[in-house]
Structure formats: structure tokens, C-alpha cells
Amino acid sequence: MCSDDELRTAIAGARDALTAAISHLDKIGTAERVTEDDWQDASAAVGLSMALHRENMARVGVLLGLGGAQKRLLRYLLRHVGQVVSGPELSGVAGIAEWPRRIRELRVEEGWPIESGVQRSTLRPDEYILLRGERDEELARKWQLASDIRRSSGTVRDRILAFLKAVSPQAADRDDLEYVAKSGTWKPAIGDLRDEGWDIRSADEDPQLAPGSYRLLL
């Protein structure tokens, strides 16, 4: 259990850092003339203040027993099951800049049914929804499958095809494919497979698919 003094100090640190960021903007906003250098210097100062703000926000979470960023994010999502939450909300809850990675870990490694615009076309890229309040064993199995294929030998094309076959008739989203391919340049492999005659559908052919998702029909 944390002491009240520790908690108040961390909260004050978060407040003061935010106040400092606002102060930098107020100062440059009231200047008679703003140069490119002035704006860059102010931007750098705001960046440092916001980093300190996130650090203290995260500290408050730890002192309250909310655990690390991943646990804080999951707790928040579980409190809002079935509701769309925004990226800025989750960023604030996590208290770290790398929060999207923690969301992905919860989804693909832990099997929590979290969707974003990557998986669902009705959501924006910066919107997320936890569909149910329990883990999805099928999602966890899919991640293990992706992990096994990622470690296999062969080309990017080979790994992409192996994964699409393994999950068919389900679709694979761009996060899945980038992970399996071990490369951000996996799309040419999809084109090569189509040229070879593999019936791979995208959102262009199947409106039910989210942009960037692909389904192999066997």
C-alpha cells in the first residue's frame, strides 16, 4: 500500500508537467513574432514536459496497485466491454508512448478479443473495442500458429501462404501478416500468390473485410 504523500507527489508531478507544457504554448502564443526556431524549441520543451507527465501518470497507476501499462489497459477495457474507446483514452490510461504494442500483446498473445479499425471496417484506426470480458482461446491459438510459422524457414511468400491456408476460411489482418512475414513489405507476396492462381480476397472483393485484411478461399 502506498503512502498518501507518495501518491500526492506523483499526482502533483503529473499536474506540474502538464502545466509546464501549457506555459510553453502560452509563452509562444503571446510573442510578437514566432520564428521556425521558436516553434521547434517550444515543441521540444512541450515534448519533454509531456514525457514527464506520462511518467508521473504511470507512477500514480503503480502506486494505486494498477500494475504495468498492459494491466492498466486491460482493466480499463474490461470496464468498458462492448464500448468503443479511443486511442487517446488508452494512451492516457497506459501512461507510455508504446501503448499500441501492449494492446497488440493483449490481443494476439493473451487472446483478448480486442478489435480496431485493422480488424473491423466500422471502426477508425484509432478506435478499439473489447468484444467480451473473457479470453478467446481461438485468438490465442491463432497467435501460436502465427508464431510457429514466423519461425519457420522459407520466403515471405511461403510464410504468408502457410498462414492464410492455416486460418482459412477466416481472414488474416495486416498485423497478422506483417508479424508472420517478419517484414513490413509483405503485400508484394500477396500479389505474387494471386498471380499464381491462389484465390485471395481483400476488402476490394469482399466488403465485409476490414481494409488490409485478406482471406484465402480453398
Q: What is the pTM of this model?
A: 0.71
Three cell numbers written together for 121: 471496417
Residue-wise DSSP of 33-73: ---HHHHHHHHHHHHHHHHHHHHHHHHHHHHTT--SHHHHH
Q: According to the model, what pLDDT value does residue 1 have?
A: 56
Residue 102 backbone dihedrals phi, psi, to 5 degrees:
-65, -35
Q: According to the model, what pLDDT value does residue 111 have?
A: 86
Show the low-confidence residues of the chain (pLDDT under 70). Answer: 1-2
- Cβ burial of 166 (10 Å; 0-12, 13-18, 19+) is middle
C-beta separation of 113 from 139 below 8 A: yes
Q: According to the model, what pLDDT value does residue 125 have?
A: 83
Q: According to the model, what pLDDT value does residue 2 have?
A: 66
**Mean of the per-residue pLDDT values of the chain:** 90
Q: According to the model, what pLDDT value does residue 70 have?
A: 94
- Cβ burial of 51 (10 Å; 0-12, 13-18, 19+) is middle
